[in-house]
Structure 1
Amino acid sequence: MNITIVVVFYKQKPEESKTFLSLKSTLFSKQECKNNIELIFYDNSPVKQDINPIHYEGIHISYIHDQRNLGIAAAYNHAWTVAKENGSEWLLLLDHDTDLTDKYVNEILNLPQLSKDIVAIVPKIISEDKMISPVYSHSLRPLQEELPVSGLQEKPVMAINSGALIKVDFLNALNGFNQDFPLDYLDHWLFFEIYARGKKVWLLDVILEHELSVMDYSRVSLNRYQSILNSEMNFYQKYKKDLYPSYRKQLVKRFVKQVLTVKNKKIAMHTLKRLLSM
């Protein structure tokens, strides 16, 4: 099975990231699969870094520096183009802070014969000892409800990008990743499209750890929150329309909570501004 792997970096040296270090100790050690792997480092950092692929014999590595920092959609679309050109069956999406395991790598390299309807294969992701992905996508508060179990996901789920293996043929049908979601909610859009087009997701019986700080207001700047909120609103207005009325109500509750508990009041004021524009 041919796989193209893309790891997206920002202001971090690839060789210092959890993802790269775990790739070295798992995937890079498997001689039998090296000729079937294309690895892309896509660096959105302001300054180009000194990367020497010669250090990793047997793995074809390319380094792309894009100081424009257009987000992950641009990085994924570059990787999708490469995957098409080299005849890859799957595209593996990775952030810089996902800790891969031998079990996960063995699972994706030795997949059983799966139905043609399965176009995404994902692990269970935990953050701070709590499973955060995948989740069922019929609710605005999925972490408070039943969580998916391993195997075929008949009911629509949403999974985070990192660790997701996506069928290249399916991405071809989508014409790549949606540039309307350059960073945030790109995963929501992708998994919405999977089920909207009658396809399915396979959940591995594998757990990976991943750092997730989104919506932790002590760690999110105003600009970052604005980006999240704009993408969130776009998603519920144009795609997950059945949840839009409930989303508006939840946004009101979020504004009240932000006024009462969030130190940076500009965040609450931006929520109010966007509410009034709906």
Structure 2
Amino acid sequence: MRIADNDIQRPSASSLLAVVVVYKLCPSKSSTLQTLLATAKNVSSEELNLKIVVWDNTPGGQEIEKLPDGVSYVSAPENPGLALAYNHVLALAEAEGYEWLLTLDQDSLLPADFLKRISDLTCKLGPVEKIGAIVPQVIAGGRIMSPFHFIFKAIPRLFPRGFVGIWKGAVYAANSGAVLRVNAVREIGGYDLMFPLDLSDTSLFHRLHASGKQVFISGDLSMGHDFALHNKQTRMSIQRYDASLLDDCAFWDMYMGPLARFERVVRFSVRALKELFTPEAADFRRRTVLELRRRLFTTRKARIAAWRTWATRRRDESSASTHLQQRAI
């Protein structure tokens, strides 16, 4: 399904709250914040009511430089992850009457026309309540990485470059660059704190689809992004990789079918083989092989039960220890 520009009457300015989550990086050094501020200059306040929040997950906090006027800053020195950060800002957007929430990681590159295009889309799609999200195409290393859908509910397939419109089935997209309808995300309870980081976006879009919402894919709008999983040796700790493997397995165990779970086993087997020829990835390869053995020789029921116990403890400890420091810089 495609929606032409002249199919929907354009109302007055829409409202968007943008959040940039940083980790061990000064906000002023974030490519996302830099390009967000640059693209904001290309859209007027009459077209888009915009607010920007920088959420800092740096453990222990950090001293930062002065940020531009109007940019709010929140420090979460316990590093609670992405899901809790986005939920806090979702609540802020709801309280202040923003219709849309733009979620961003620290290392994206937004094109100059990003907010202009988003402004047009949110105005035109605002009255279409079934649209729960608007997503661009995300590019990493010259390859499209997001959004995607599943063939036979098992095999992930990317949308072709430049695809614009609404896909009839479930659509999955990266957190960074996603424009979410605040009411739609609130209706499903926000981000699931059981998936605080790597599967937070997959879980969110899965539940949006289950609630009857659809995703508008703006393939004419592309943005660059650096995915941590593509450079594990320098971007991920072993502990985070372990957590990512467990969360990945839990999501597929709980929400995907046998064919999809088999596809993941094949996928991780290929990953382990590739890591065999990368000496610096030896520790990650061992973890990948251990995870493959667990998926092959531990029952699905036992895997889910063990994950629920571990993930519940992680969620509760993170929520209890989070103390926010909010200020305008």
TM range (shorter): 0.7 to 0.9
Gap change, CA 1:82 and 1:259, over 3 Å in 2 = closer
Write the distance in 2 (CA, Å) between the matches of 1:132 and 1:78.
27
CA contact (8 A) 1:158 1:188 kept: yes
Write the distance in 1 (CA, Å) between the matches of 2:276 and 2:108.
33
Deviation at 1:176, TM superposition (A): 1.3
Amino acid corresponding to residue 95 of structure 2 in structure 1:
E
Write the distance in 2 (CA, Å) between the matches of 1:239 and 1:153.
20
The structure 1 residue matched to 2:266, chosen from 250, 254, 266, is 250
Write the distance in 2 (CA, Å) between the matches of 1:270 and 1:249.
12
- 2:239 matched to 1:223? yes
CA contact (8 A) 1:71 1:183 kept: yes
The structure 2 residue matched to 1:208, chosen from 219, 223, 233, is 223
Q: Corresponding residue for 2:286?
A: 266
CA contact (8 A) 2:268 2:288 kept: no
CA-based RMSD: 2.5
- What do residues 47-98 of structure 1 show as CA deviations (whole Å, max 9, x unaligned)? 2333534x32xxx322111111111001101100100110010010001111
Alignment length (residue pairs): 273
The structure 2 residue matched to 1:128, chosen from 141, 149, 152, is 141
SS of the residue 1:160 aligns to: coil
Equivalence map 1:80-91=2 (5 Å): 80-91=90-101
Write the distance in 1 (CA, Å) between the matches of 2:268 and 2:120.
47
Amino acid corresponding to residue 222 of structure 1 in structure 2:
I
Equivalence map 1:38-57=2 (5 Å): 38-46=51-59, 47-53=61-67, 55-56=68-69
TM-score, structure 1 as length reference: 0.88
Q: Corresponding residue for 1:24?
A: 37
- What do residues 108-151 of structure 1 show as CA deviations (whole Å, max 9, x unaligned)? 112252222111000011111111111113465535x6647211
Equivalence map 1:178-197=2 (5 Å): 178-197=192-211
Which segments of 5 or more consecutive residues in structure 1 lack a partner in the other structure? none
Write the distance in 1 (CA, Å) between the matches of 2:23 and 2:261.
35
Q: Corresponding residue for 1:12?
A: 25
Write the distance in 2 (CA, Å) between the matches of 1:110 and 1:152.
16
Q: Corresponding residue for 2:124?
A: 113
Deviation at 1:191, TM superposition (A): 1.1
Write the distance in 2 (CA, Å) between the matches of 1:195 and 1:96.
27
Gap change, CA 1:85 and 1:129, over 3 Å in 2 = same
Moved over 4 A (4+): none
Q: Which moved more, 1:235-244 or 1:116-125?
A: 235-244
Deviation at 1:39, TM superposition (A): 1.2
CA contact (8 A) 2:133 2:180 kept: yes
CA contact (8 A) 1:84 1:168 kept: yes
Percent identity, aligned pairs only, is: 29
Gap change, CA 1:217 and 1:20, over 3 Å in 2 = closer
Write the distance in 1 (CA, Å) between the matches of 2:159 and 2:51.
37
Write the distance in 1 (CA, Å) between the matches of 2:275 and 2:184.
43
Write the distance in 1 (CA, Å) between the matches of 2:21 and 2:268.
34
Amino acid corresponding to residue 36 of structure 2 in structure 1:
L
Write the distance in 2 (CA, Å) between the matches of 1:147 and 1:66.
38
Q: Corresponding residue for 1:163?
A: 177
Amino acid corresponding to residue 176 of structure 2 in structure 1:
S
